[in-house]
C-alpha cells in the first residue's frame, strides 16, 4: 500500500481508502495481473472527500506495487479472484472493510493519541472497530448504513 495512515480524500493523494466497501467489478486483463474493483468513493467518501476530485478506480490487484490501491502477490490475487467470482456467481455481494490498522483497543489508543492531527478520523476508526467487533462476535457481516454526515450506523 502507499500513503500514510488516514483515508483517501482526493485524487492523487496516494492514500488507500479506509472504510466499508464492496467489490463492484472484475478485471481479468489488468495491467497488475488480475484486479477487483472497489466501489470507492462510497457514500461516506462522497460526503467527506473532495467534492470535485475524490479519486476513483481503487482496486485490489496483483503485482505487489501500488499508488493508492491494495496490492498483493500474484499468487494471492489469483486465489482471491476465484473466490470472488464464485461468490458473485452465487448471488453474493462481496463486502470489503479496509482498516488502517488492526482495531484492537491498544491500537485504537495508540493511533488516536499518536496522530492528533487526524482527530477528524477517529469517528471513522470507531465505526470500523464497531463493525470489526460485531463480526468477531457473531461471524456475520455487519449491516452498514451511511448517515448524512458521512458517519456510519452499524446494525
Name the residues annotated as catalytic.
61, 69
Place of cell 472497489: 38
Contact 68, 55 (CB under 8 A): yes
Find the distance separating the first CA and the last CA of the chain, reported in whole Å: 30
CA quadruple 105, 121, 142, 27: dihedral, nearest 10: -120
Place of cell 450506523: 153
Beta bridge partners of 97: 20
Amino acid at each position: 500500500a502507499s500513503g500514510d495512515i488516514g483515508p483517501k480524500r482526493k485524487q492523487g493523494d496516494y492514500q488507500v481508502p479506509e472504510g466499508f466497501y464492496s467489490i463492484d467489478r472484475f478485471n481479468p486483463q489488468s495491467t497488475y495481473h488480475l484486479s477487483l474493483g472497489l466501489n470507492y468513493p462510497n457514500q461516506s467518501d462522497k460526503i467527506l472527500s473532495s467534492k470535485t476530485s475524490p479519486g476513483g478506480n481503487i482496486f485490489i490487484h496483483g503485482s505487489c506495487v501500488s499508488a493508492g490501491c491494495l496490492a498483493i502477490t500474484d499468487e494471492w490475487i489469483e486465489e482471491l479472484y476465484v473466490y470472488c467470482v464464485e461468490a458473485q456467481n452465487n448471488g453474493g455481494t462481496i463486502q470489503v472493510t479496509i482498516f488502517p490498522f488492526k482495531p484492537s483497543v491498544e491500537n485504537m489508543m495508540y493511533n488516536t493519541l499518536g496522530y492528533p492531527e487526524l482527530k477528524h478520523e477517529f469517528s471513522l476508526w470507531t465505526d470500523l472497530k464497531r463493525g470489526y467487533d460485531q463480526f468477531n462476535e457473531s461471524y456475520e457481516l455487519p449491516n452498514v448504513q451511511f448517515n448524512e454526515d458521512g458517519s456510519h450506523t452499524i446494525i
